[in-house]
Amino acid sequence: MSSTVPDPTDTSASTAASASFPDVRMRRLRTHPRLREMVRETRLSPSDFILPLFVRHGENQRIPISSMPGHSQLTVDLLSAEVAEIASLGIPAVILFGIPSEKDAVGSDACDENGIVAEAVRAIKAGNSDLLVITDVCFCEFTDHGHCGIVNDRHGALDVDNDATLEILATQAVTHARAGADMVAPSGMMDGMVGAIRGGLDAVGFTNLPILSYAVKYASAFYGPFREAVESAPGFGDRRSYQMDPANAGEALREAALDVAEGADLLMVKPALAYLDIIRRVKDAHPGVPLAAYNVSGEYAMVKAAAEAGWIDEQGVAMEILLAIKRAGADMILTYFAKDACRWLA
């Protein structure tokens, strides 16, 4: 007889694995709501979220970003109230993106101690907030051509000059650190960016300032609404000579390994939803390195638009997406849903 009562003294895994219906009924664990909660493998909490904020110069202005309902460009004076609300929801961290009043070829505002991001960091820190303030370190918001670094003519084609950009990336990171940033997050996909920034920070004493590297960042169509938000669409060409081809997964592992070797303290995969396989593989390759995933603007806008049309349930879909990102291996999620998710979790 094959269907006998299992020997209770046999604890070998094979017994459990070979058990089957009707001895095993998976639905038993799904019957009671409390039990379902107890056997849940992945949980979201407010401490998982990092909220992106868009800041600009000026006074008392909140300029809505049309493709990202619920998000606005905020003037620096409004930040302390905003930050108080964010902290009261239990969100531990924000990441700042700046819209400078003037853009030029080399993104000077980004390295200016009175530039928009430095000013925003100081404004938040002046309010004695204990929020973790992360700054995005990149040039696309600050250059008039919208590319992520210094553009040079290379053999008749305009392209971002990697090594020239490394120098100003280190300067930008130091500018943010001096303003009081708690962590810097380079997003420009320049080769050697983590090492250059680490060197720049260490040289002036910021040896303990962590670097969250956008190690695995794809050239994605999902960034569309963000580029409206910071007015950073490239003036010519695209970002495919520095951001990754969405077709590549092995390359993601090389990118992550290089950044870890250069001293990245945390890694990021971006976007998130269409790259859950990449999140899992990077986490498995670097289990000891905290991993962030960026649930980007286009992912947010799709949910918002479908919800506004009445086609999906916003809360259900948003929470399922965030849960999936965490289940895939992310330890933290940069998301425009951060505030809503905290309210839904409460």
Tokens 């009043």 belong to 101
With respect to ligand PBG, which residue has the nearer C-beta, 260 or 272?
272
Q: How far is the CB of 155 from ligand PBG (least distance, A)?
A: 25
Q: How far is the CB of 209 from ligand PBG (least distance, A)?
A: 19
- For residues 186 and 213, the answer to whether their CB atoms sit within 8 Å is yes
With respect to ligand PBG, which residue has the nearer C-beta, 53 or 83?
53
With respect to ligand PBG, which residue has the nearer C-beta, 4 or 218?
218
* DSSP class per residue in 223-252: GHHHHHHHT---SSS-STTTSBPTT-SHHH
With respect to ligand PBG, which residue has the nearer C-beta, 167 or 228?
228
Dist. CA 118–CA 96, nearest whole Å: 10
270 is catalytic: yes
Phi-psi region of 60 (alpha: psi -120 to 50; beta: other; left: phi over 0): left
Q: How far is the CB of 188 from ligand PBG (least distance, A)?
A: 7
With respect to ligand PBG, which residue has the nearer C-beta, 206 or 226?
226
- Name the active-site residue from 103, 125, 217, 339: 217
Strand residues in 78-142 grouped as ranges (E): 93-99, 132-137
**At 174, which helix (H) or strand (E)?**
helix 162-179
Q: How far is the CB of 114 from ligand PBG (least distance, A)?
A: 20
- For residues 94 and 130, the answer to whether their CB atoms sit within 8 Å is no
304 is catalytic: no
- For residues 144 and 151, the answer to whether their CB atoms sit within 8 Å is no
- Name the active-site residue from 103, 270, 304, 326: 270
Dist. CA 240–CA 260, nearest whole Å: 23
Q: How far is the CB of 264 from ligand PBG (least distance, A)?
A: 16
Binding residues (CB under 6 A) for ligand PBG: these are 136, 138, 140, 187, 223, 226-227, 296-297
Catalytic residues: 217, 270
